[in-house]
Amino acid sequence: MTRVAITAAAIAAVTLLASCGGGGGPEPEPPPQTFSKCDTSATENGDVAAAESGAGGLTGSESAPAPEGVLGWTMRYCSTGRDDSIVEVTGLLATPDGDAPEGGWPLIAFAHGTAGLGDQCAPSTSGIEKMLYLETFIGAGYAIVASDFAGLGTDGIPGFLIGESEGRSVLDSARAARGISGANIGPQTMIVGYSQGGHAALFAGELAPTYAPEIDVVAVAALAPPTDLTELTDVRFNEPNSFDTAAPLIASWVDYYGQDPSSLVTAQGAEVLDIVVNECTGRLPQAQGPVDDFLQASLLDIPEWAALLEENSTGQSAIAAPVFIAQGGRDKLVPLEVTRSAIPDLCAINDNLRYQEYDGVSHGNLRLAAADDMLQFLADGLAGQPSEVGADCASVN
């Protein structure tokens, strides 16, 4: 992986000079072919026909060990990066081991939770058996494709809470999965994500009509999703010992957008940025302490950073498919107040949205608490019928 160092010395130098991640959809396109590598010169955004090894193109797949009753593959595929460049992404595909229904297995494009920025953090390195909801989804008769997201396990730094990067990675994984021989993937796609992946799932749903209109998205489910990043920053990033949460976002956005962090982080904060690009999610000892030790200013107080927070908040456009959002009442990472305040704005452009709060449930425990509701919502979407899971927008506004 090519990494961009954000050293304390560099920050200090710049500072002195400046003195301061419906079932009746359209007919699916032919599946992508397999190519030896991504065409990094291709700029046709999502147009697999125009750019043979462009977005959605499969560059490689291999059979992978899987639990009994499951078939698995590792996969490498192409997606669209910054400025419409073509980048390679890794992921996993799993299907039930048996006869697929007529038309093929319904596909879940799953977006993983926060893993970290280091290559070793890519979920695919843990194998098929560690896929979240594997038994649940396979038992329901679904195939699952799980993207690592661009930059995680491949060149660059992952686009942490960068909606377009995550969303494209998810949609292109669904395209590429249909190119794996023997997987027998059907035309219907459900998009599911947890935590960071909930943010990715919502953005994938928003991007689908324009970026991947040939994908028949029948449902989008987001569990504990960061929604309004401006509000989340205000609530979470001003707390003591919170910089290990803010640092991955800052390091990622410095790389992806070319943001100058010199007016944002202190020399101590810059040291943490250099560390976090190679680490997995977890408590980072070097990032513990008062926020003023690491940040010179709030992201909200610097116009360029504030604009990016707004740009990467969900609700940029409507989602054509039904949407389910689940939120834990005791979630400290994505606080209830942040999600609750975002729902009216999301409902304003998504009248097919359903929302459910789970009293007393933490961020991690929501995965189990919301599982049954999520499965019912997906089944309703697959059947093309209105869901009664959670509350509708009229009830929550």
pLDDT in tens, 235-280: 998 888 899 999 999 999 999 999 999 999 999 999 999 999 999 9
Confidence of residue 3 (pLDDT cuts 50, 70, 90): very low
The first and second tokens of residue 130, run together, are 């560690």
Q: Where does 1-32+88-397 sit in CATH, by number? A: 3.40.50.1820
Q: What is the average per-residue pLDDT within 181-206? A: 98
Distance of alpha carbon 243 from alpha carbon 237, whole angstroms: 7
pLDDT, greater one: 53 or 290:
290
The first and second tokens of residue 370, run together, are 């919301």
The first and second tokens of residue 123, run together, are 């979920």
- Whether residue 323 has pLDDT greater than 90: yes
Amino acid at 256: Y
Q: Can you give the pLDDT at residue 283?
A: 81
- What percent of the chain stands above pLDDT 90? 81
Helices (H), 115-162: 134-139
- What percent of the chain stands above pLDDT 70? 87
Q: What is the pTM of this model?
A: 0.89
**Domain definitions of the chain by residue range:** 1-32+88-397
pLDDT tens digits, residue range 88-113?
999 999 999 999 999 999 999 999 99
Question: Mean of the per-residue pLDDT values for the chain?
Answer: 89
Q: Can you give the pLDDT at residue 22?
A: 36
Q: In what order do the strands lie in the sheet with 143-147?
A: 58-64, 70-80, 86-96, 143-147, 105-111, 185-194, 216-223, 323-328, 353-358, 391-392
